[in-house]
Chains A and B, each alone.
Chain A
Amino acid sequence: MVHTRDVDGRTLHFGHSGWLWRSAFLLYDRETDSLWHHQTGRALSGPLRGRSLGRLPVTHTTWGAWRAEHAATLVLPKPADPDAPVEVDVYARRNATLVLGVGVDLPRARRLYPLRAVRAAGLVHDEIDGVSLVVAADPASDSAHVFDRTVGGTALRFRVAAAADGRPLLREENGARTWSLRTGLPVPRDAGHPPLRTLLSTPWDAAAWRLHHEAGTIWSPE
Chain B
Amino acid sequence: MRRRCPPSRARSPPLLRFNAEIDRTRGHRDVFTVIRDPKLLPADRATRMHDDEPVLGLDLGRVQIAYPTRLLDHHEIVEQTLEGLELLVCW
Q: Which residues of A contact B (CB under 8 A)?
A: 1-6, 11, 13-22, 25-28, 38-45, 49-50, 52-64, 66-67, 70-79, 84-91, 105, 107, 110, 141-142, 183, 197-198, 200, 212-213
* 8 Å CB contact of A5 from B41, B43, B54, B86: B86
A6 vs B88: C-alpha distance when bound (angstroms): 10
Interface footprint category on B: 35 or more
B interface residues (Cβ-Cβ under 8 A, vs A): 2-10, 12-13, 15, 18-19, 21-24, 26-32, 34-35, 38-43, 46, 48-60, 63-71, 73-74, 76-79, 85-91
- Point out the residues of chain B lying under 8 angstroms from A4, CB to CB: 4, 85-88
A60 in contact with B56 (CB, 8 Å) = yes
Shortest 10 CB-CB distances between A and B: which pairs?
Answer: A64-B51, A52-B7, A18-B27, A74-B40, A59-B57, A70-B64, A5-B86, A73-B64, A38-B90, A20-B23
Q: Which residues of B contact A197 (CB under 8 A)?
A: 3
- Total of A-B residue pairs, C-beta within 8 Å: 233
Flag if B65 contacts A57 (CB, 8 Å).
no
Q: Which residues of B contact A21 (CB under 8 A)?
A: 18, 21-23
Give the distance to chain A from B84, nearest Cβ to Cβ, in Å: 10
Q: A59 and B59 in contact (CB under 8 A), knowing A54-B5, A89-B70?
A: yes
When the two chains form their complex, are residues B57 and A61 in contact, meaning their CB atoms are under 8 A apart?
yes
Do A2 and B58 touch (CB < 8 A)? Answer: yes
- CB contact under 8 A between A75 and B43, given known A16-B32, A19-B24, A64-B51: yes
Whether B26 contacts A18 by the Cβ 8 Å rule is yes
Q: Would A20 and B88 count as touching, CB distance under 8 A?
A: no
Q: Is the CB of A5 within 8 A of B88?
A: yes
Contacts of B32 in A (CB 8 A): 16
Inside 8 A of A63's CB, which chain B residues have their CB?
49-55, 66, 68
